[in-house]
Amino acid sequence: MIAQAESIDISADEYHQRGELSCSMLKVFMESPKSYFRRFVAKVAPSCDSPSKRLGRLVHSAILEPKTLERDCVRAPDSALSNSGQRRGKQWDAFLQENEGKQILSPGEYDQVEAMFEAAYSNIDAKKLLLSKGEVEKTILWQAQGANLRSRLDRLPPRYVADIKTGNFSTDSQFANGPYTSLRYYVQAAFYLDAAMSLDGELRQFAFICIQSGEPYHCFVHCPLDEDIQQGRDEYLAAIEMIRECEKSGDWRHDTEKQVSRRKMAEWNRQKNSF
């Protein structure tokens, strides 16, 4: 049990191996209790990765911990690649040997990360959040509803909790009507604000630093409304209670699995299938 909120200094890998509930775990449960069970209880379903998630991690490292990015990643040199981007045998093997253990970025990936880095610092509001005094990648262990929780905050400048988001959005409206809603970013905002407050009691505002992942690499700052934060708080607290109920009952079915449905076939489908 966590007696009180505390901040610990650990790596991202160590953070993800811990057993406390995280916001990402709660959001998986909100989408599908069975997925939560298979991934985090039975541990028979692997976590999903994708090129967009990989890009997001690279951009986070470049902006928040550039020394870590430089240490762990390397750009594939043009000398080891053909004009079409294919690897040259001996040159490529020599390059791999010199950079054993590092993550290899193609020239295109490197240029994309660099452009997104520059976009973040070209926005005045984002730059203030990134350069003002504050901690980076801050891990907080805390409690809510009697559950042990963990949060890893991108940045903690004065009066704010700042989080970097990357994706295929160029305007605030696209972000607000897209991933902010569909990926429940407002839940994350509430969860992280509560984590920070549990640590020092300070009332803060949440700020998403949003960076477009393609041309022309727009960057803007989105601050959730108070009502969004409250909705996110209500949802994550409800999820904690529902997880506790599922643990007691052993029933991880989604509501749609608990009922027999009868649905009328669409008329256009009925006509299409008739003789």
Q: What is the CATH number of the domain that holds 137?
A: 3.90.320.10
Look at residue 273 and tell me whether its pLDDT is greater than 90: no
**Domain presence at residue 99:** no
**Domain presence at residue 246:** yes
**Domain presence at residue 199:** yes
CB crowding 60-77: b at 16 or more within 10 Å, else e: bbbbbeeeebeeebbebe
Number of domains in the chain: 1
Helix spans in the chain (H): 12-16, 23-31, 33-36, 51-64, 66-72, 89-98, 107-122, 124-131, 172-177, 179-182, 185-200, 226-249, 267-273
**Domain presence at residue 37:** yes
- Residue-number span of the structural domain to which 205 is assigned: 6-45+109-252
**Domain presence at residue 38:** yes
Q: What is the pTM assigned to this prediction? A: 0.87
**Domain presence at residue 271:** no
What per-residue confidence (pLDDT) applies to 222?
Answer: 98
**Domain presence at residue 62:** no
**Domain presence at residue 238:** yes
Q: Give pLDDT tens digits for 173-229.
A: 999 999 999 999 999 999 999 999 999 999 999 999 999 999 999 999 999 999 999
